[in-house]
Amino acid sequence: MRFLLRTLSLSYARRHMGKTILTLLGVVVGVTTFSSIKTAQDALVKGIGSTVDRVAGKAHLQVTMEGGVPEEIQEKLRSLPGIRATSPVIEQIVVPEKAGLGSLMVVGIDLLGDREMRDYGFEGDDADLDDPLLFLAQPDSAIFSRDFARRAVLSTGKALSLKLPTGYKQVTARGVMSPKGFAEAFGGNLMVVDVYAAQDLFGRGRRFDRIDVRLQDGVTVAQGTATLQKALGPAYQVETPARRGEQMERLVANFTAGFNVSSAFALAIGIFLIFNAFNVAVNRRRRDIGTLRALGATPRQVQVLFLAEALILGIMGGVLGCLAGTAFSQGLLVSMGQSTEAVYGISGSGIVHLTPAIALQSILLGVGASLAGAWGPALAASRIPPTEAFAKGAFQARVQRRVAPRLAGAAALLAAAVYFALFSGLSGNQMLLAVLLLGGTGLILLLGPLSRALLVAAAPLLSRFFPSAGPLSSDALMANPRRSAGTIMAMTLSLTFVLGLGGYLGSTKGTIVRWMDDVLTCDLFVRASANFTRGDYLYPGALREELVQLPGVRAVESIRAIRPQFSGKRILINSVEIGQLLDRTKYEFAQGDARAMREGAPKGMCAVSENFYRNFHLGVGDQVELMTPGGLVKFPISAVLRDYSCDQGSILLDRPVFLKHWNDDRVDIYDVSVHPGVDPKAVREEIRAKLAGRYPALVSTRAEFKAEIGKAIDAFYAVMRITVFLALGVAFLGIVTSLLISVAERTRDIGILKALGAVPSQIAKSIVIEALVLALAGLLLALPAGNLFASFMEGPVAVAFTGWSMPHNYPWDVLVQLLIALPLVSALAAWVPARQAAKVKVTEAIEYE
Amino acid sequence: MIARFARPLAAAAAALFLASLCAGTALAAPDARTLLKDSENRHRTKTQQYAGDLTVVNKDGKVRKKGWRSYREGYAGDAKNLIRFTDPPEVKGVGFLSLSRPGSDNPDQWLYLPSMKRERRIAPQDRYASFVGTDFNYEDMEEFDHEKYKVSLIGEETAEGVPCYVIAAIPNDKGTKSVYQKIILYLRKDILYLVREDLIRKGEKEPAKRMILSDLKNVEGHWVAGRMEMTDLKKGSKTTVNLKQITFNRPHPASRFTLQNLTREGGD
């Protein structure tokens, strides 16, 4: 086998270096996509867990409460038996003004006693800050990790400007931490400030984000949890840091699940590229195969030879793809981190590491994809009888036409996919995997015969519209139907992905935009936090009265949002003056109506979102049991409405009801409506003047606010968009490969045509037409498939992961873009092969074998 | 620190009386408890105040300087202490209040930061932590009350150039929250004034820190050390406090040792 590989395979690879590289590129692209996404995903999830773990230090337990833990709780905890130390913590992600430093995690701690909890590893062997009294006395004091300080060119006494809720603020470096343990949290982009200074900086009032608890030796975590839970009551969550990290990881699971689809598509398309390349290789080397068979090689040996080639290509492609993926993954991680920060308010570290597990998986996938792509052609090669192998054209003319069983298999698989999507009751990821596998295989089985049928149907049209070049293209496409079908399959898969995902993204955004039009109807939004999910700064409730008094203001609503755990998911509880809200909004109701909601609100009833109803099976007539600082409270449901403010489900409560049970009058956003005829921008200036120097104020008009939410949605889908472009790139690569092979295959034919009088432009035109036909055939087949995929994403997938069902809208915008882009891309892809074909010399071509 | 040394610093009001007492009992083996009681009686004052210059030198020779004013009322188990930083301007106004609670293991302690306009209570868990970056910790800032220790005379030695009684003090209860396992006190024999302390942390055999009181002088009839020096024997850093403008037994305003005064803008 080694001899055959060296003499036959290596010699073929050398003679056809371009094709070999393109085949290798197919594996590389597929594996790169997988490994970059997987590496970034893993880094994101591990970063979140690791940051929680490192920041937690020696804490055994962490006490949290929705809205923050009141300061006085710390004293209560300190006096409990079994508690060795407690330490308050505030965490916040900020962005330095200086570009290129990345997000910075600010941890507010009480340095007076926090060494019981965390090891700071201060620089200079002083085992302390440069001047701890100065650190405490000056609220702008900060400590940085050494790595960050180096990148930001910071040393003790130097200032760094940060973008904070209250505007740009300078902090002064008063110490540097060695890069170990705690200082490595958030990838080392860490800044430590005094917890009480953090309260002021981030508007936490007299609350902490959590209190870390270290237990005395001999006290178990279970005992400690029981003691704390008993002393604090049900409104407080007492968890180990590990569990808290897991919850955060689960939170971003929905987000990362979307990338699995992208990975799967990229690999599938890569397999087709390999399939195509090997198919052609078999075709080109049939004489070699015939010789081998004539010399006594068994069919099995021939098959193993091709599979061995695939194995080598797979390993090479896997290694290269893995390395390229790691290089891309850093950028991907930054994008993912920005999305999770914008959407969930949490982010992991900023550093990716290629783990041995991912490297192994990538190489195995490369090998698997290569073998899968080469399996069919290798089998076909092994079945070539020696007599046929030496007869030119016999193999090309042979097309296996076992269409009926193939179509039947496709129908069965597609039916099974539909069943699993609609009725199986599988969990999100299982359902996604099952449907993609079954549906994808069904589609692939269906695409072969359909693409052949399309090419046959296109032949007369080509001859009619392009009398000289058309038949040449048609002949070229039909001469090797396997290759043409393979390219069309790759195109169809790419475009299905593009249309499906593009349709899903468009539908999601369209739905949310419509919802915003119905709900976000007030004129101005006054908020203190740029982040929509994480309240970096909260206003006092009393500010509403001041805003109402401003000239031009008609009404002000106070929005307070908390995100507690409910049945294992992090839901959203929104509180607002419901009567006022209903006066100006047009909610769509799935159950109940506005009147029921209005009447129920003051009685302590709540409204829930449709996805909450789907996720938890609680609707009108049921009660939601929520943990409040005073204990468990049951809220009857008055209505189920369409609301897209939280992907896990939301609950809407009247503000007085919330105040009564949560005893927290702080406000995230004030919704301000102005009198008719009053310019909102003038009122905005009044509000800014009123709040100046007192509170941070991001005052947006309705259009600005919607645009900002639109940006957040775009940020969420930014990475998915990248994968859409990647799919188009793979499609482009597919066409180039196919055409280059086609030109090489037909060198002799092209030479004969030229000898018979064909001019180079005619030859080149036929290549371009061939590319266009391949692309358009792929698009034609992708239209229904993409539509089906979009429906699957908008329906079963969205419901499984979020409980939302997006109404389906055909992605006409994407289609129009494709109709413009595809001919251009195809023509571009045909450029090199067309030039190559046009340059073929007649004498050399006729000698070409 | 201030507190621990408030007692010796308080000087001996009845120096002559005690000297004669010592002479009278010279033939008998002195008892550690008696010696400490005698010392306390001799140096007890109702109040004390002084201005201090604080210098911290780390092992690399880097120097940090601060200035403060210190006020004390009461003694040992019933002492109240207030420190207010006066210099440099960045830390001016930072205050520290320590109030002994009868029957309690630890006094209540607060640190006030004027830039944030709020006081922070020092939790018992933080007693080991460095007092604002000096070589003293918060426990060192408490009044030393020998009643909370088992004491024994372990010998006589010349320390800091003077003959001293050497007394070992071990915290009474095993469960006590003291940072130290044992404290070795060097009591100057002639005036029963503390001139050195070796502080041995829990689980250790050798002293982690050593404090030396020097530059003894008699102010208003009370012996007082004009210089206190705490050395961290492991880190190699040293904190020195030079006492100036020392006065004794001047009455304090009733509100001086309160949280309201601690947090008052421009308060003592």
Averaged pLDDT, A803-818: 80
Continuous segment of H or E residues that includes residue A494: helix A481-519
Continuous segment of H or E residues that includes residue A116: none
| A120 interfacial to chain B (CB closer than 8 Å) | no
Is B90–A110 a contact, with Cβ atoms under 8 angstroms apart? no
Q: What is the percent of chain A with per-residue pLDDT over 70, rounded to a whole number?
A: 84
A 10 A CB-CB count for A295 gives: 8
Residues 6+ apart with CB under 8 A from A619: A591, A608, A613, A637, A640
Span A152-170, pLDDT tens digits: 888 888 999 988 766 788 8
- DSSP class of residue A9 equals I
> Shortest CA distance to A849 belongs to which of A10, A15, A274?
A15
A 10 A CB-CB count for A11 gives: 12
Is A137–B120 a contact, with Cβ atoms under 8 angstroms apart? no
Averaged pLDDT, A464-488: 79
What pLDDT score does A193 carry?
92
B chain contacts of residue A115, beta-carbon cutoff 8 Å: 129
How many residues can be counted in chain B? 268
| B174 interfacial to chain A (CB closer than 8 Å) | no
Hey, is A659 helix, strand or coil?
Answer: helix
Of A124, A127, A136, the CB nearest to B113: A136
A chain contacts of residue B125, beta-carbon cutoff 8 Å: 78, 84-86, 113, 116
| pLDDT tens sequence for chain B (268 residues) | 344 444 443 333 333 233 333 333 444 557 899 999 999 888 888 899 999 999 999 888 889 899 999 999 987 777 889 999 998 988 899 999 998 877 677 788 899 988 888 888 888 777 778 888 889 988 888 877 888 889 999 999 998 889 999 999 998 865 557 888 999 999 999 999 999 999 999 888 899 999 999 999 999 888 999 999 999 998 888 999 999 999 998 888 888 898 888 988 666 6
DSSP string over A524-555: EEEES-S-SSS-SS-B-TTHHHHHHTSTTEEE
8 Å CB contact between A367 and A311: yes
| B202 interfacial to chain A (CB closer than 8 Å) | no
B chain contacts of residue A85, beta-carbon cutoff 8 Å: 123, 125
Q: Where are the beta strands (DSSP E) in chain B?
A: 47-57, 63-73, 80-87, 95-99, 108-113, 118-122, 149-159, 162-171, 180-188, 193-201, 209-219, 222-232, 238-248
What pLDDT score does A397 carry?
45
Per-window interface: A 135-164 vs B, CB < 8 A: 136-139
Identify the band that residue A535 occupies on the pLDDT scale cut at 50, 70 and 90: low
Whether residue A400 is predicted with pLDDT greater than 90 in this model: the reply is: no
Residues 6+ apart with CB under 8 A from A562: A66, A67, A572, A573, A662, A664
Averaged pLDDT, A254-259: 66
CA distance, residue B120 to nearest chain A CA (Å): 9
Whether residue A553 is predicted with pLDDT greater than 90 in this model: the reply is: yes
Pairwise CA distance, residues A241 & A238, whole Å: 10
Residues 6+ apart with CB under 8 A from A571: A563, A564, A565, A612, A646, A648, A649, A650, A651
Of B90, B121, B130, the CB nearest to A132: B130
A chain contacts of residue B66, beta-carbon cutoff 8 Å: 133
How many residues can be counted in chain A? 849
8 Å CB contact between A486 and A276: yes
What pLDDT score does B5 carry?
42
Range among A135-139, A437-441, B61-65, B207-211 rated most confident: B207-211
Averaged pLDDT, A646-668: 90
Per-window interface: A 175-204 vs B, CB < 8 A: 196-197, 200
8 Å CB contact between B248 and B220: yes
Range among A106-120, A428-442, A581-595 rated most confident: A581-595
What pLDDT score does A530 carry?
67
Of A75, A128, A137, the CB nearest to B113: A137
| Whether complex ipTM tops 0.85 | no
What pLDDT score does B50 carry?
92
What pLDDT score does A455 carry?
86
Span A305-328, pLDDT tens digits: 888 888 888 898 888 888 888 888
Span A30-76, pLDDT tens digits: 788 778 877 887 777 777 777 776 777 778 899 988 778 888 898 88
First and final C-alpha spacing in chain A: 25
| B65 interfacial to chain A (CB closer than 8 Å) | no
Span A585-627, pLDDT tens digits: 888 899 999 999 999 999 999 999 999 998 899 999 999 999 8
Residues 6+ apart with CB under 8 A from B34: none
| A72 interfacial to chain B (CB closer than 8 Å) | no
Pairwise CA distance, residues A108 & A99, whole Å: 23
β-bridge partners, B166: B155, B186
What pLDDT score does B158 carry?
92
What pLDDT score does A79 carry?
83
Pairwise CA distance, residues A607 & A624, whole Å: 10
Is A136–B58 a contact, with Cβ atoms under 8 angstroms apart? no
Is B133–A75 a contact, with Cβ atoms under 8 angstroms apart? no
8 Å CB contact between A271 and A440: no
Is B113–A116 a contact, with Cβ atoms under 8 angstroms apart? no
B chain contacts of residue A171, beta-carbon cutoff 8 Å: none
| A119 interfacial to chain B (CB closer than 8 Å) | no
What pLDDT score does A727 carry?
67
A 10 A CB-CB count for B123 gives: 23
Pairwise CA distance, residues B198 & B232, whole Å: 10
| A216 interfacial to chain B (CB closer than 8 Å) | no
Is B94–A133 a contact, with Cβ atoms under 8 angstroms apart? yes
Identify the band that residue A151 occupies on the pLDDT scale cut at 50, 70 and 90: confident
β-pairing verdict for A141-145 and A69-70: unpaired
B chain contacts of residue A86, beta-carbon cutoff 8 Å: 123, 125
- DSSP class of residue A628 equals E
Of A112, A115, A125, the CB nearest to B122: A112
Return left, alpha or beta for B266; rule: phi > 0 is left, psi -120 to 50 is alpha, else beta: left
Averaged pLDDT, A183-188: 73
A 10 A CB-CB count for A510 gives: 14
Whether residue A394 is predicted with pLDDT greater than 60 in this model: the reply is: no
Task: Provide the token pair at A376.
Answer: 């069919």
What pLDDT score does B40 carry?
87
- DSSP class of residue B103 equals T
Is B125–A86 a contact, with Cβ atoms under 8 angstroms apart? yes
Domains of chain B and any CATH numbers: 6-262 (2.50.20.10)
Mutate to test the interface with A, among B109, B130, B135 (most CBs of A within 10 A): B130
Per-window interface: A 496-525 vs B, CB < 8 A: none
Name the residue type at position A252. Answer: V
Pairwise CA distance, residues A802 & A572, whole Å: 13
For A189-227, b/e burial (b = at least 16 CB within 10 A) is: bbbbbbbbbbbbbbbbbebbbbbbbbbeeebeeeebbeb
Residues 6+ apart with CB under 8 A from B234: B208
Mutate to test the interface with B, among A79, A112, A122 (most CBs of B within 10 A): A112
CA distances from B153 to B43, B167, B168, B200 (A): 20, 4, 6, 17
Question: If you average pLDDT over every residue of chain A, what do you get?
Answer: 81
8 Å CB contact between A426 and A757: no
Residues 6+ apart with CB under 8 A from A8: A285, A288, A292, A305
Of A85, A131, A196, the CB nearest to B64: A131
Number of C-alpha atoms within 13 angstroms, CB side, residue A432? 20
Task: Provide the token pair at A279.
Answer: 């198919």
Is B126–A112 a contact, with Cβ atoms under 8 angstroms apart? yes
> How many A/B residue pairs have CB atoms within 8 Å?
71
CA distance, residue A138 to nearest chain B CA (Å): 6
Identify the band that residue A126 occupies on the pLDDT scale cut at 50, 70 and 90: very low
- DSSP class of residue B123 equals P
**Orientation of helix A253-284 relative to helix A356-382, angle to 10°:** 30
What pLDDT score does B70 carry?
92
Pairwise CA distance, residues B261 & B114, whole Å: 12
DSSP string over A787-821: HHHHHHIIIIIHHHHHS--PPP---HHHHHHHHHH
What pLDDT score does A637 carry?
96
Identify the band that residue A848 occupies on the pLDDT scale cut at 50, 70 and 90: low
| A128 interfacial to chain B (CB closer than 8 Å) | yes
Is A132–B133 a contact, with Cβ atoms under 8 angstroms apart? yes
8 Å CB contact between B86 and B245: no
Identify the band that residue A809 occupies on the pLDDT scale cut at 50, 70 and 90: confident
A chain contacts of residue B113, beta-carbon cutoff 8 Å: 136-137, 196
| B122 interfacial to chain A (CB closer than 8 Å) | yes
β-bridge partners, B156: B165
Q: Which of A295-299, A768-772, B32-36 shows the lowest per-residue confidence on average (mean pLDDT)? A: A295-299
